[in-house]
Amino acid sequence: MGIDKATVEHIAKLAKLEFDDQGKEEIMKDLDRMLQFVDKLNELNTDNIEPLTHMTEEQTVLRNDEIKTEITQAEALKNAPQKDSDYFIVPKVLDKQGSAD
């Protein structure tokens, strides 16, 4: 499959990019080289090859979850610049319509 100028222009339009004629020629060459590289994969015989779910046989060792209190709520709020009786007070980030300020 060859990459033509119309394909490059279509990709550039979708990506909102602009190229001059020389840039389009370079992109066409680059895309052709990429496709040739990927086409090499078709030369591999993948018969009787199982798909991989993981790259290695290693297992992740996880620790057991343990519930423990490292800091109390009062200790967490102690140095807060602004706080309510139970909560941190922070500046408003979103307006009523849900868009950022």
Query: Higher confidence at residue 48 or residue 1?
Result: 48
Round the average pLDDT of the chain to a whole number and report it. Answer: 86
pLDDT at 101: 47
Total-model pTM? 0.45
Q: Residue 29 has what pLDDT?
A: 93
Domain ranges of the chain: 5-43
Nearest Cα residue to 32 out of 10, 8, 65: 8
Cα→Cα distances 51→40, 43, 54, 55, Å:
19, 17, 9, 10
For 53-95, how does the pLDDT look when each residue is reduced to its tens digit (9 = 90+)? 878 888 888 989 888 878 888 888 888 888 888 888 888 887 7
CATH entry 3.30.1380 includes domain 5-43: no
